[in-house]
Structure 1
Amino acid sequence: MLKLLPVFRLVALLEGVSYLLLLFIATPIKYFYEDPQYVKLLGMPHGILFMAYVVFAVLISNDMKWPTRTLWIVLIASVIPFGTFYIDKKYLTKASRA
C-alpha cells in the first residue's frame, strides 16, 4: 500500500492548490464581481480531490502505522488553507524517503 504514497502526495498537492484557488481567487470573484463561473469550474474538481484525499489518508494510515490522532490531524488539515502542504512536509516526505 505504500506504493500509493506518491499518488497520495500528488492528490494532497492538487487538493491544496484547488482549495486555495477556490478560496482566494474564485470566491472573491463570485462575490465582488458577481461572476460564479470560476466557483462552478473549480468546485467539482476540488470536491473530487477532497474525497480522494480522505480515502487515501485512511488507506495509507494503516500501512504507515499512524496513531488515530495523526490520522485525525491529516484529515483536519484538508479543511485548513495550506494544511495539506504542512502534512506533506511533516508526515509524507519523511515516509517517502524511508
Structure 2
Amino acid sequence: MSANNKVLDWFRNVALIEGISMVVLVTFSVLKRTTDFEWATLGVKYVGWAHGILFIAYVYLLWMCVAKYKWKFGRAVVFFLASLIPFAPFFVERKLRHEEQS
C-alpha cells in the first residue's frame, strides 16, 4: 500500500467488505421471511447495523477520493449508485484494482 494511494486502498477495501455485507444482509432477510429460524432475525439486526456503518464509510471514502484524486462527477455518481445495488460494489473494487495495476 503506497502512501499516495492510501485513501484509494481504503475505499477499495471498504467497497469489497460493504458488498459482502449487503449480500449477507439480503440472505438473512430472505431467511427471516421464508423460514422460522430465530437467528435470521438477529442476523438482519446485527448485519444490518454493520452494513449501515460500512455504507457510511463507503460514502465518506468515496467523497475523500473525489476530493483527493479529482474524480469526475459522473464517476462519483456511478460509484455511489453502485453502493445501492447488490453485487455492484464488487465491480467498483475490481475496476479500482485494475486501474491501480495499470
Query: TM-score of the superposition, structure 2-length normalised?
Result: 0.84
Kindly indicate whether the alpha-carbon contact (under 8 Å) linking 2:12 and 2:92 is maintained by their aligned counterparts in 1: no
- Does 2:39 correspond to 1:17? no
Q: CA deviation at 1:89?
A: 1.9
Q: Distance in 2 between matches of 1:37 and 1:65?
A: 41
Q: Paired residues, what number?
A: 96
Q: Distance in 1 between matches of 2:69 and 2:77?
A: 14
Q: Distance in 2 between matches of 1:71 and 1:26?
A: 29
| Residue aligning to 2:44 | 39
Amino acid corresponding to residue 53 of structure 1 in structure 2: Y
Q: Distance in 2 between matches of 1:63 and 1:50?
A: 20
- Does 2:69 correspond to 1:75? no
Q: Distance in 1 between matches of 2:60 and 2:50?
A: 15
Aligned-residue identity in percent = 34
Structure 2 gaps, min length 5: none
Kindly indicate whether the alpha-carbon contact (under 8 Å) linking 2:13 and 2:93 is maintained by their aligned counterparts in 1: no
Q: CA deviation at 1:87?
A: 1.0
Q: CA deviation at 1:95?
A: 4.0
Task: Please tell me the root mean square deviation across aligned C-alpha atoms, in Å.
Answer: 1.6
Query: TM-score of the superposition, structure 1-length normalised?
Result: 0.87
After TM superposition, which residue ranges in structure 1, 4 or more long, deviate above 6 angstroms? none
Structure 1 gaps, min length 5: none
Amino acid corresponding to residue 43 of structure 1 in structure 2: G
| Residue aligning to 1:6 | 9
| Residue aligning to 2:100 | 96
